[in-house]
Chain A
Amino acid sequence: MQPDPTPAPAGKTPPSGKTLPEVMLSVRGVKKVYQTDGGDIEAVRNLTFDLRPGELACLVGPSGSGKTTLLKCISGLMAPTAGEVLLDGKRVSGPPKKMAVVFQEYGRSLFPWMRVRENVELPLKNQGVPKAERDTLVDEALEAVGLSHVPRSYPWQLSGGMQQRVAIARAIAYQPEVLLMDEPFAAVDAQTRADLEDLIRVVWKKLGVTVLFVTHDIDESVYLGERVIILSSSPTVVQEDIVIDLPDERDQLNTRALPRFTELRHHVYEQIQLAKKGHRPAAAGSTTA
């Protein structure tokens, strides 16, 4: 972890040398209506927000606020009913090459018939990355998540937390520009979760990747993010978009003990409570920080 005293995310420069666009991921007026036999269900009404390159944003909202729906629209797994998602200025119409997704259900997102190493390697192999380069990327990714010692195991031989590490390693090895995470730690125990949260911060800093982290856990969103986007209850709009002005160097004990952490947590909690009661922001847009 390099020390970075700048609290506001604006001061962050991505490690890669090339010039990056102002906006990496742009969600523009996304609306999703599911057509069912029992009538239409509006899961997402109108969502607009932008992520700058190298930003780590958390998306938090009450349960059933269409978080997963939104993530599926962003990742190109599902087409929005209206609006569009732009990745690096290009409209997303299918899963983009520059994006990797880590799902909540680790047990169902890894291939059980492949060993850990093969799982991490498969997306690269599929893209025709040469063997030598592939090996380096896989080794580095496994090293980064602390799993260098189990390349020959099958995923189901590992604990839940370790399986999710494999999924993260697979995403890292893929070298995405945007990493989407859909409540990745919702199904692991509290201690493992704390380790994995720190892992995400480390990986994010090391790779300079743009991360959108979806969670229902308020503490987690404040601890992890440079920014927290709070969603309203369904039909979903952006309730509030706040900057997390905590020191860049975070620590499970000290950061969580900061008065500012408590304030922010309190604020997000209040907003979520309001959202649950059906309160909606005056303007259906966002107050982008």
Chain B
Amino acid sequence: MPKEYYEAVKDSKRRTWLLFAIFIILILAIGWIAGLWLGSEILGTGIAIVVAVIWGLISWYAGDKIILSVSGAGKASEDDYPRLFNTVEALAIGAGIPKPEIYVINDPAPNAFATGRDPDNAKIAVTTGLLEKMDKDELEGVIAHEVSHIRNEDIRVMMLAAVLTGIIVLLGHLFLRMMLFSGGGRKKGGAVMLLIGLAFVIASPFVAQLIKLAISRRREYLADASAVDLARNPDGLIGALRKLDEDKTKLSRANGATAHLYIEDPMKKEEGFFAKLGGLFSTHPPLEDRINRLQEMAAIG
């Protein structure tokens, strides 16, 4: 096991706390602004604290289930997917983690992710497209990447980022609706509140994106490197990343809150203005760059 592994675990723990802190500050800010508008900052903040605690607990204990169901992932049976089960079991043994639960997403777009709050409660989900399009070594590379995310304890931070920020985006929209339907001009300075609220609504997805950005880009490089260390075969993962790059099928059940979980950005195939805008906040390093790094690793040893 490489030394970076311990660093990665420590770093993951720090980032978990950071994420919770950002989440609580954001929720409190929403509550406070909502309170201003409702006429009682204390009420607003109070509600926000309750929401934060409840949603924090739900995210911690059921975040993975929420993510899996949002992604349309169903539990896989060993009889239907023996190759997948064998690959996951072998790599889990190699990484010294318990065997993760295995899920399959019925979608022709090749992709995969891992989630769960710790290695004892880990889940791996792959699309049927991945199973069809990858050969043995490539599948091994992809699963090694996911198993590395589990062992490095990235999955907790990534899961929390998905569900915690998921609700922030949701609350932003809720807030906007509340204002639109009950008339912002009820109180003095209502227009100002409306502006603040609007600003918040517009800002919230960006904030959410920034959080994801903070957690995921370097993790991808590290998971790639650990995957090669684990599978002892850079060509598998390189081949898999190439195929992912060439494949233009869209993953239908992915969304802004879960995109960062996947081995490859499932949203990058979106076209139009928002996709370009999203590129600024891309959760994944360019595949070309990842492939180059792996090739350098392969060349060294």
A binds B: no
